[in-house]
Amino acid sequence: MASMGEGLAIVPTAPEAIRNRDSHYPYRFDSYFYYLTGFKEPESVLVLLGGAQPKTILFCRDKDMEREIWDGFRYGADAAKEQFGFDEAYSINQLDAVVLKLLANQPKLYFSLGENAIWDGRVTGWLNSLRNQARTGVSVPDDVRDIRKLVDEMRLYKSPFEQEIMRQSANIAASAHNRAIHFAKPNMMEYEVEAEFLHEFYRKGAQAPAYTSIVAGGANACTLHYNANNCVLKAGDLLLIDAGCELDGYASDITRTFPVNGKFIGAQKDVYELVLASQLAAIAKVNTSNHWNAPHEAALDVLIQGFIDLKLCKGSKESVLENGDYRQFYMHRTGHWLGLDVHDAGEYKYAKAKNQQDNWRALQPGMTLTVEPGCYIRPADNVPEAFWNIGIRIEDDVLVTQHGCEVLTSNAVKSIADIEALMQY
């Protein structure tokens, strides 16, 4: 509210989504609304009044014994105000009437324009209603801004409270990966392994997977967003699992790659060691002396040298970087912010930097990001056959600290020796 100045912010939560007929998808609140309220019920709206006398106002569903018998507990406005500490709370049925009063004569409106067409219509309807009252002396906000811009800056820096939830989310996902690695054997189906880590997510209290899980055996790992997860796992193939959970709204995001039969061999081993070396080099750059892109640059440096050494790329490190030949095997970036959303809020560059080439954000304590280099080798004439269909990614979640970084997902096995040992017994 301090960053808003004079004005009104309207932040609706996410709508419920129907799966088919009267069955819904599991409900997930809007991340901005949840960040500002901690309130998880659908059909809720937060209104923030900025200026000299700031105020937080919640609109939520009424208590309703009939609905509560069918669907479960609802706070209702009075209990929500009391327990969540809003200044005021009203029934969601009063939204039109109360918002019209609050919005009148405000200089600015903050809203996430374009996020949801129904809310866009409702908000422009309120503005038009006020315009219709112009002759009674009511003024209408003529400055409509995106509330997300302000909140993104806050979401980027995780508070100690958020860091602790992310630590727990990461720990659950790490033990889920260990469970899956230990369980996987030749001739299983990809989905059988998926069932193992999902079991661990739910058993440890996570509410959902944080995104669609990737369980990709052999060549499937070279499809970056593969998620059919329905193929048989063959001895001699690698298995790439990209899976994380959501705990109390916060995502973890881990990738591990390991041999289905428990032993890295030949080219698989060479490429795994290369990707691991690039990931460790990238993690070493996660500290407050560096900007956002430093880990990516470090990973690329190691990968490109490795591609040359393995004869996957030709030329010097500089020329392969310059001409982009490495993109045949490494076509994504090395990470993203992580938080309430798996690809979390926050700018990666400073908007107003003078030099557009070099305006990556400085890393600062409280930021959380993934570090996830990989290598994906599809069959091609310019590639020795021993490398065909190897797809490897190694992904950890990292918190920037005062003196370096904390790898939140360090409990998931990663070295060749640790993976092979876990698969032995």
Residue number with CB closer to ligand GLY (7 or 244): 244
396 in active site: no
Minimum distance from residue 291 beta carbon to ligand GLY (Å): 20
Residue among 115, 84, 156 at smallest CA distance from 14:
115
The only residue of 90, 370, 377, 412 in contact with Mn ion, by rule CB under 5 A:
370
Residue 181 interface partner, choices ligand GLY, Mn ion, none, CB cut-off 5-8 Å depending on type? none
End-to-end CA distance of the chain: 56
Residue number with CB closer to ligand GLY (259 or 373): 373
341 in active site: no
| Residues between 245 and 284 that touch ligand GLY (CB under 6 A) | 253
Dihedral over Cα of 167, 227, 116, 336: its sign:
positive
3-state secondary structure of 60: strand
> How does 262-271 read in b/e, with b if 16+ C-beta sit within 10 Å?
bbbeebbebb
Considering only the stretches 113-121, 122-130, 237-245, 409-417, report the one whose residues sit in contact with Mn ion under the rule CB under 5 A: 237-245
Options 199, 291, 332, 378, the catalytic residue? 332
Instruction: Enumerate the β-bridge partners of residue 291.
Output: 362
Minimum distance from residue 68 beta carbon to ligand GLY (Å): 36
Pairing of strands 88-91, 55-60: parallel
78 in active site: no
Options 333, 343, 361, 378, the catalytic residue? 343
- The CB-side HSE value for 338 (13 A sphere, CA atoms) comes to 33
Verify binding: residue 325, Mn ion, rule CB under 5 A.
no
E strand map for 3-91: 8-12, 18-20, 23-24, 45-49, 55-60, 88-91
The only residue of 41, 190, 200, 242 in contact with Mn ion, by rule CB under 5 A:
242
Minimum distance from residue 268 beta carbon to ligand GLY (Å): 21
Residue among 229, 173, 164, 242 at smallest CA distance from 202:
173
Residue number with CB closer to Mn ion (10 or 392): 392
| Residues between 37 and 76 that touch ligand GLY (CB under 6 A) | none
The only residue of 253, 341, 344, 397 in contact with Mn ion, by rule CB under 5 A:
253
155 in active site: no
Minimum distance from residue 153 beta carbon to ligand GLY (Å): 22
242 in active site: yes
The only residue of 41, 162, 242, 344 in contact with ligand GLY, by rule CB under 6 A:
242
- What is the layout of strands, in order, in the sheet containing 143-146? 88-91, 55-60, 45-49, 8-12, 108-111, 143-146
Residue number with CB closer to Mn ion (41 or 242): 242
3-state secondary structure of 287: coil
The only residue of 342, 392, 412, 419 in contact with ligand GLY, by rule CB under 6 A:
342
Options 75, 110, 330, 376, the catalytic residue? 376
Which residues lie below 8 Å from residue 220, measured CB to CB, with a gap of 6+? Answer: 190, 226, 228, 231, 240, 391
Dihedral over Cα of 388, 336, 162, 246: its sign:
negative
376 in active site: yes
Verify binding: residue 211, ligand GLY, rule CB under 6 A.
yes
Binding site residues, ligand GLY, CB under 6 A: 211, 242, 253, 336, 342, 372, 395
> Which residues are at the interface with Mn ion (CB under 5 A)?
242, 253, 370, 395
Catalytic residue numbers?
Answer: 22, 225, 242, 253, 332, 336, 343, 372, 376, 393, 395
